[in-house]
C-alpha cells in the first residue's frame, strides 16, 4: 500500500491531538465530553505557558485496589518532573483532593477554601450559629457544594463536570493571581458574584428568622420568670 503524505499528516495530527488532549485533563474515566476536555486543555495550557505550573485534572471511576486518594496521587505524581498540581476526583469513592508536587506550590492557592463543603461566608455563619461553634468558618468551596447537590437522572455527569471545572478554574485563577498574570480563558468572577449575592440574600433571611426565634424564646423566658 502506498504511504501518502496525506495519510502521514493525518496520523501525526491524530497523535498530536491525542497527546494534547491528555495533557491537562490527564485521566478521564467519567465525563468523556469533548467540550469539557477542550475547556480544561485551553485553561491548563495557558496557565502553564504563563506560570510554568501544570494543573492536571484526574477523573476516576474508582480508585484502584482501594487505595487512599492521596496515595494514588503520590504514585501518579512520579510521572511528572515539572511543578505540578493534581486535582483528583473519584466517582465511586466520593473523594476529591488536591496535591502539589512540592510544598512551595501551596502558597499560590488556598486548598482549604477550595475544598470547603461550605460555599459562602453567610452559610458558614449560619452553620456556626446553629452549632454554636465559631472556631472554623472556612467557606468559599467551589467543588463540594456543587457535588453535594441532588441531580436528576441524566444530569449527574453535568453536575460532575460543572463542579470539577469550577474547582479547576478556581485553582488556576488563584495561581495566576499569585503570579501576577491574567488568564484570557479564566472563568471570571461575574457569575460567582451573582451566585454569592443570591446566597447572601437567602441565608440572610434564614439568619433573620433565627434571630427572631431567639428573641421570641427570650421574651417567653423573661415573661415566665416575671410571673414566678
Cβ neighbours around 86 below 10 Å, total: 23
The HSE-up count of residue 79 (CA atoms within 13 Å, CB side) is 11
Give the percent of the chain with pLDDT over 70. Answer: 70
Q: Which of 139-143, 176-180, 202-206, 220-224 has the highest mean pLDDT?
A: 176-180
Report pLDDT for 91: 96
In angstroms, the Cα distances linking 183 to 47, 82, 104, 114 are 7, 20, 22, 19
Report pLDDT for 120: 67
Asked if 98 and 114 touch (Cβ cutoff 8 Å), the reply is yes
3-state class of 27 per DSSP?
A: strand
Q: Which residue has the higher pLDDT, 13 or 208?
A: 208
Report pLDDT for 226: 72
Position 159 pLDDT exceeds 80: yes
Q: Give me the domains of the chain, ranges plus CATH numbers.
A: 8-113+141-186 (3.10.310.50)
Range 148-160 average pLDDT = 87
Distance CA 197, CA 54 (A): 32
pTM of the model: 0.73
Report pLDDT for 136: 63
Q: 72-129: per-residue pLDDT in tens?
A: 999 999 999 999 999 999 999 999 999 999 999 999 999 999 999 887 676 656 655 6
Report pLDDT for 186: 85
CA dihedral 90, 94, 96, 101 (to 10 degrees): -50
Report pLDDT for 214: 79
**Mean pLDDT of the residues in the chain:** 81
Position 211 pLDDT exceeds 80: no
Q: Which residue has the higher pLDDT, 27 or 187?
A: 27
In angstroms, the Cα distances linking 43 to 39, 135, 162, 183, 187 are 6, 36, 15, 8, 9
- Phi/psi of residue 143, nearest 5 degrees: -120, -60
Which residues, other chains included, contact 100 with Cβ-Cβ below 8 Å and sequence gap of 6+?
Answer: 83, 84, 85, 86, 106
**All 3 cell numbers of residue 95?**
473523594
Give the percent of the chain with pLDDT over 90. Answer: 55
Amino acid at each position: 500500500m502506498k504511504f501518502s503524505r496525506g495519510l502521514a499528516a493525518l496520523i501525526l495530527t491524530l497523535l498530536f491531538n491525542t497527546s494534547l488532549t491528555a495533557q491537562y485533563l490527564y485521566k478521564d474515566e467519567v465525563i468523556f465530553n469533548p467540550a469539557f476536555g477542550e475547556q480544561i486543555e485551553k485553561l491548563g495550557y495557558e496557565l502553564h505557558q504563563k506560570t510554568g505550573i501544570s494543573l492536571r485534572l484526574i477523573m476516576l471511576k474508582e480508585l484502584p485496589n482501594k487505595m487512599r486518594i492521596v496515595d494514588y496521587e503520590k504514585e501518579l505524581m512520579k510521572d511528572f518532573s515539572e511543578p505540578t498540581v493534581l486535582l483528583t476526583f473519584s466517582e465511586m469513592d466520593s473523594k476529591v483532593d488536591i496535591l502539589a508536587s512540592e510544598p512551595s506550590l501551596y502558597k499560590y492557592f488556598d486548598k482549604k477554601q477550595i475544598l470547603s463543603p461550605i460555599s459562602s461566608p453567610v452559610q458558614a455563619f449560619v452553620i456556626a450559629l446553629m452549632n454554636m461553634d465559631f472556631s472554623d468558618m472556612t467557606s468559599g468551596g467551589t467543588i463540594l457544594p456543587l457535588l453535594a447537590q441532588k441531580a436528576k437522572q441524566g444530569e449527574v455527569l453535568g453536575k460532575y463536570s460543572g463542579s470539577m471545572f469550577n474547582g479547576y478554574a478556581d485553582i488556576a485563577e488563584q495561581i495566576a493571581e499569585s503570579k501576577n498574570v491574567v488568564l484570557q480563558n479564566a472563568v471570571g468572577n461575574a457569575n460567582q458574584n451573582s451566585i454569592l449575592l443570591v446566597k447572601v440574600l437567602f441565608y440572610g433571611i434564614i439568619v433573620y428568622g433565627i434571630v427572631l426565634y431567639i428573641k421570641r424564646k427570650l421574651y417567653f423566658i423573661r415573661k415566665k420568670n416575671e410571673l414566678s
